[in-house]
A and B are shown apart, each in its own frame.
Chain A
Amino acid sequence: MGFDERIREELERLAEPADPPGLEDVGRRKWRRLAARRAQRAFLSVAVVVGTLVGAWGLYATFTAGVRDVTPGSPLGSYANGDKILFSLYMEEHEKQWSLYTIRPDGSDAMPLTPDDSEELYPDHSPDGSRIAFVRWQQRETGIWVMDADGSNQRLVWAPSDSDIFNIEQVRWSPDGERIGFVLEEAILKDPPPEAGVPYSRLDQSIWVMNADGSYARQIVDGGEGAAFDWSPDGAEIVFSRTVRLSDEGEKARFSSDLYVAKADGTDEVQLTSDGQSWNPAWSPDGSRIAFDTSAPGSDWEQQVEVMNVDGTHRHVVAPGSDRYSPSWSPDGTKILAVSQIDDPDSFSKCHLYLIDVERDSARSIFQSRTSSDCPNGVSWQPVPIEPEPVAIQTTEPPVEPTQEPSPEPQETQPVEASPEVGLLEIGCFRSVVAGDFDGDGVLDAAYGGFLPGGTWDTTQPPDEQCRGAEPDPENFDLTVELAGYNVAFIQEPGACEDERCRVFAAPDIDADGASELAVAVRSSGTRVALQLYRFDGGGLERFEIPDNESCEGDTCVGVAAGPATFEWGASADGTIYGVDCVLSDDVAMLRAWTGNPRDDGTFFESGILYEISGRELVPQFDVDWDAEPHDAPPADLCGAPVNG
């Protein structure tokens, strides 16, 4: 029996096909959704009428705040004391799946904070903004870690006795910074363990508090089978949700969750809600209100954010709309961040961070995951600015990005010779530049891609506004690749370069003609990014063609039609780099088109496609032995003399 057949057979044995429900059961679900949508529309209609009565100006303000597109750099002046948001994000394309990211409230400057081989979740800023507490999963161990806000000085402060049984789900600094609260989950195991299926009968959660150094950890609240909490601004109380099991019909249990307030030591508990549908409370910075999420009417799947006074009065939904949950207040108490999962037109759910304006009752997305990934969690606003004001930089020199490039120069190239063409070239704003001997004359050329017209680079501006002195002209904001100094090639593809992925790379001499190949990453469609490969051929650059190829696995064959060497991936978050390099696999020279996450130590995680180099041809390979371990920056000289060419 082949290996594939064995996997199929074992999965067939493991699987437990389900009896289908009746058509009427599915129909009821559908009608609940329809009813919920009608109710939502009715609510919005009323809101419009009320807005009209309030006045044309008010309506205009509400409308413009609610529907405008996300515009990086749009002014949000009131966020001077909370200009960064911290969250963890699940990136399915990477081996390391949960990572911490920061983003500004206007949606700009999303960037990873913890690029290493562990996984981090549930981050929270210390009250002074100088430190971050978070949960880390590392080699099957879980624990609460603390680091400085720039990601340095990481240290474990507390870990459960058995990471196979205990799990940590939420971390919250106390307002005085002296304590850290967290939710601890314990798996109550079945005895004996089942041969297959879930080995635990339930998962109990409780709220714990410890000193910030990890000492004196103790449970303060029993959270039933699901808990979440937040501190009051003065640290004297906590608000929390507790989930209890209403019925236990086999594994189809029904649960109820409500909000409670208690002293910070867990005593004197007072119930705030009794609807059984309230989760994830967040205490407003002024101490007067509590935001939380509840099930949207008619839906077990979609949540909505509500706000009420701390005594449980004046409860109302804010910015009703699509699915939103896990609210988090801005430091000034005027906005709420909420996570949302919305079905996009392609039917795949995308996760958003929504910024809800509490007073205007409007919301807009400031972040959208680029792939169908799990949603951000552990959202935490930066309490106070911790970075000095940036210094404006005005320069006409290109911002070369050497740290993002995988040693592109082939070994045989000569040092760059100063020449008037190179030294005086005005190439304005661009996204990336790379050196390589693209025409094979032994002298380095330069290639760049991005925004062609002249201008200066201003790093104090948001990314899409950093090219100053030149109006962003869609016709010119294209992929532009030019071999500067020699002007042997100029490629322009209108509309190809709409974001930061318009980048160029120098690939090793794949076809052994003495010249480096050129790889260009462009946005191909939607959120897809393509890496196109070119080679110099006398008068200019031509697309690198690959022949027909087909690979069969079991009874399934995957074909690659002849055409340009274009490798397409789904786009990834900031920090991802794309490139091509050559590797040896069982002494066969391979071209590797890859995407990777750079780590602090200069190594990468990679993912992509391997092509065998056969003479001047590339032959796609499937399921060959990828090096799953992190590898050093790729060698550049493997392909110059093809081993098997």
Chain B
Amino acid sequence: MSTEQTGGPLDEATIREFLGNDYPRLVAGVAMVAGSRPAAEDAVQEALARAWERSERGERIDSLPAWVTGVAMNLSRSRFRRMRAEARARERIAATVVPADEVGAAGVRVDVRSSLAELPRRQREVTVLRYYLGMDVAEIAATLGVAEGTVKVSLHRARRALAEALGERELEEANDRGV
């Protein structure tokens, strides 16, 4: 996340910088949360257009990546619900159709994907924002509009669930203890 705005309307150079630096990973992150790459692209582009339009109407946008991330996460959630493109039950489908004995060499990735898909939406969001988009707790809280305590609890639960799925419970506990 590199594109920072210091106030005033967004200019084309800032938009281009965002598209070049932040867009690819943000789409990938939203896709991991929502389970649909095309919908993630659509959500991020819509959020960016909204940011651009709002800044021209005089609204101050301090951090374009943070703003777009938060709105894109929300948009992906509402769009999926409304347009029937995804429901939580579908995440359940995504999580269960790959038999455990087929994971083979790609097993770890499949485990992570299915484990991620099985997490509640909030836990999935904080996991991707923390470990893929590299945000700290305060940034995640600001992006999602929730308290830092909520982020910490969600992260903890997500880590525990992922550790269970990956068979790394002991390692995760050791990390918790700072070992």
In the complex, what residues of A have CB within 8 A of residue B53's CB?
30, 33-34
> A17 to B120, Cβ gap below 8 A?
no
Mostly helix, strand, loop or mixed at chain A's interface? mixed
Using known A-B contacts A8-B132, A558-B137, A623-B155, determine if residue A164 contacts B24 with beta carbons closer than 8 Å: no
> B87 to A167, Cβ gap below 8 A?
yes
> B160 to A628, Cβ gap below 8 A?
yes
In the complex, what residues of A have CB within 8 A of residue B29's CB?
15
> B110 to A343, Cβ gap below 8 A?
no
**Cβ contact of B96, chosen from A3, A10, A164, cutoff 8 A:** A164
**Residue on A nearest B27 in the bound complex, by CB:** A18
Chain-B contact segment, one of A282-290, A371-379, A416-424: A371-379
> A137 to B88, Cβ gap below 8 A?
yes
Instruction: State whether the Cβ of A161 lies closer than 8 Å to any Cβ in chain B.
Output: no
| Among A12, A167, A375, residue most surrounded by chain B Cβ atoms (within 10 Å) | A167
**Cβ contact of B110, chosen from A20, A27, A164, A196, cutoff 8 A:** A196
In the complex, what residues of B have CB within 8 A of residue A552's CB?
178
CA distance A194 to B110 in the complex (A): 10
Interface string of A185-213 (1 = CB under 8 A from B): 10101000101111110010100000000
Chain-B contact segment, one of A47-55, A71-79, A565-573, A632-640: A565-573
Chain-B contact segment, one of A344-352, A500-508, A540-548: A344-352
> B71 to A349, Cβ gap below 8 A?
yes
Instruction: State whether the Cβ of A68 lies closer than 8 Å to any Cβ in chain B.
Output: no
> B45 to A26, Cβ gap below 8 A?
yes
Chain-B contact segment, one of A57-65, A89-97, A305-313: A89-97
Instruction: State whether the Cβ of A169 lies closer than 8 Å to any Cβ in chain B.
Output: yes
Using known A-B contacts A4-B131, A23-B19, A626-B153, determine if residue A13 contacts B97 with beta carbons closer than 8 Å: no
Interface size class of A (residues with CB under 8 A): 35 or more
> A346 to B87, Cβ gap below 8 A?
no
> B82 to A325, Cβ gap below 8 A?
yes
Question: In angstroms, how far is the closest chain A Cβ from the Cβ of B36?
Answer: 6
CA distance A341 to B43 in the complex (A): 14
In the complex, what residues of B have CB within 8 A of residue A225's CB?
84
Interface string of B39-51 (1 = CB under 8 A from A): 0111001101110
> A25 to B71, Cβ gap below 8 A?
no
In the complex, what residues of A have CB within 8 A of residue B168's CB?
3, 6
In the complex, what residues of A have CB within 8 A of residue B32's CB?
11, 14-15
Question: In angstroms, how far is the closest chain A Cβ from the Cβ of B134?
Answer: 8
CA distance A222 to B46 in the complex (A): 32
Interface string of B95-112 (1 = CB under 8 A from A): 011100010001011101
> A349 to B74, Cβ gap below 8 A?
yes
Question: In angstroms, how far is the closest chain B Cβ from the Cβ of A138?
Answer: 12
Interface string of A325-361 (1 = CB under 8 A from B): 1100000000000000101001111010000000000
> B144 to A93, Cβ gap below 8 A?
no
Question: In angstroms, how far is the closest chain A Cβ from the Cβ of B79?
Answer: 7
Number of A-B contacts (CB under 8 A): 246
Using known A-B contacts A7-B131, A556-B136, determine if residue A16 contacts B109 with beta carbons closer than 8 Å: no
11 A-B pairs, CB-CB below 8 angstroms?
A16-B28, A20-B19, A21-B45, A27-B52, A29-B46, A187-B90, A226-B83, A243-B84, A251-B37, A349-B74, A553-B175
In the complex, what residues of A have CB within 8 A of residue B56's CB?
30
Using known A-B contacts A16-B31, A169-B87, determine if residue A569 contacts B23 with beta carbons closer than 8 Å: no
> A8 to B149, Cβ gap below 8 A?
no
> A377 to B81, Cβ gap below 8 A?
yes
**Cβ contact of A11, chosen from B16, B92, B112, cutoff 8 A:** B112
> B132 to A347, Cβ gap below 8 A?
no
Interface string of A147-186 (1 = CB under 8 A from B): 0000000000000000111010100000000000000010
In the complex, what residues of A have CB within 8 A of residue B27's CB?
17-18
Number of B residues, CB within 8 Å of A: 94
**Residue on B nearest A28 in the bound complex, by CB:** B49
**Residue on A nearest B95 in the bound complex, by CB:** A164
CA distance A372 to B157 in the complex (A): 20
**Cβ contact of B25, chosen from A15, A23, A187, cutoff 8 A:** A15
Using known A-B contacts A26-B49, A30-B49, A167-B87, determine if residue A303 contacts B93 with beta carbons closer than 8 Å: no
CA distance A11 to B24 in the complex (A): 14
**Residue on B nearest A339 in the bound complex, by CB:** B82
> A169 to B97, Cβ gap below 8 A?
no
> A23 to B15, Cβ gap below 8 A?
yes
Question: In angstroms, how far is the closest chain A Cβ from the Cβ of B1?
Answer: 14
| Among A185, A195, A628, residue most surrounded by chain B Cβ atoms (within 10 Å) | A195
Question: In angstroms, how far is the closest chain A Cβ from the Cβ of B55?
Answer: 10
Question: In angstroms, how far is the closest chain A Cβ from the Cβ of B89?
Answer: 4
In the complex, what residues of B have CB within 8 A of residue A609's CB?
149, 152
Interface string of A252-273 (1 = CB under 8 A from B): 1001000000000000000000
**Cβ contact of B75, chosen from A301, A553, A568, cutoff 8 A:** A301
**Residue on B nearest A164 in the bound complex, by CB:** B96
> B156 to A626, Cβ gap below 8 A?
yes
Using known A-B contacts A18-B24, A226-B83, determine if residue A97 contacts B120 with beta carbons closer than 8 Å: yes
CA distance A17 to B109 in the complex (A): 16
> B24 to A628, Cβ gap below 8 A?
no
In the complex, what residues of A have CB within 8 A of residue B98's CB?
193, 195, 199
Using known A-B contacts A198-B36, A528-B147, determine if residue A142 contacts B113 with beta carbons closer than 8 Å: no
In the complex, what residues of B have CB within 8 A of residue A607's CB?
149-150, 153
**Residue on A nearest B103 in the bound complex, by CB:** A195
> A19 to B83, Cβ gap below 8 A?
no
**Cβ contact of A12, chosen from B108, B132, B152, cutoff 8 A:** B132
> B67 to A347, Cβ gap below 8 A?
yes
**Residue on B nearest A609 in the bound complex, by CB:** B149
Using known A-B contacts A14-B113, A18-B27, A197-B37, determine if residue A2 contacts B82 with beta carbons closer than 8 Å: no
In the complex, what residues of A have CB within 8 A of residue B84's CB?
169, 185, 203, 205, 225-226, 243
Question: In angstroms, how far is the closest chain A Cβ from the Cβ of B120?
Answer: 6
Residues of chain B in range 115-156 having any CB-CB distance to chain A below 8 Å: 116, 120-122, 127-128, 131-132, 136-138, 144-150, 152-153, 155-156
Instruction: State whether the Cβ of A398 lies closer than 8 Å to any Cβ in chain B.
Output: no
In the complex, what residues of B have CB within 8 A of residue A30's CB?
49, 52-53, 56
CA distance A420 to B161 in the complex (A): 56
Instruction: State whether the Cβ of B58 lies closer than 8 Å to any Cβ in chain A.
Output: no
CA distance A199 to B94 in the complex (A): 6
In the complex, what residues of A have CB within 8 A of residue B42's CB?
300
In the complex, what residues of A have CB within 8 A of residue B166's CB?
6
Using known A-B contacts A14-B32, A16-B31, A205-B84, determine if residue A196 contacts B109 with beta carbons closer than 8 Å: yes
> B153 to A4, Cβ gap below 8 A?
no
> B152 to A622, Cβ gap below 8 A?
yes
CA distance A552 to B94 in the complex (A): 34
> B45 to A25, Cβ gap below 8 A?
yes
CA distance A479 to B150 in the complex (A): 25
Question: In angstroms, how far is the closest chain A Cβ from the Cβ of B142?
Answer: 9
Instruction: State whether the Cβ of A624 lies closer than 8 Å to any Cβ in chain B.
Output: yes
> A568 to B70, Cβ gap below 8 A?
no
In the complex, what residues of A have CB within 8 A of residue B40's CB?
18
User: Which 5 pairs of residues, A with B, have the shortest CB-CB distance?
Assistant: A29-B49, A17-B24, A18-B27, A15-B28, A167-B89
| Among A21, A301, A528, residue most surrounded by chain B Cβ atoms (within 10 Å) | A301
Instruction: State whether the Cβ of A314 lies closer than 8 Å to any Cβ in chain B.
Output: no
> B75 to A349, Cβ gap below 8 A?
yes
CA distance A17 to B22 in the complex (A): 10
CA distance A29 to B97 in the complex (A): 37
Using known A-B contacts A193-B98, A199-B94, A570-B147, determine if residue A624 contacts B176 with beta carbons closer than 8 Å: yes
> B149 to A140, Cβ gap below 8 A?
no
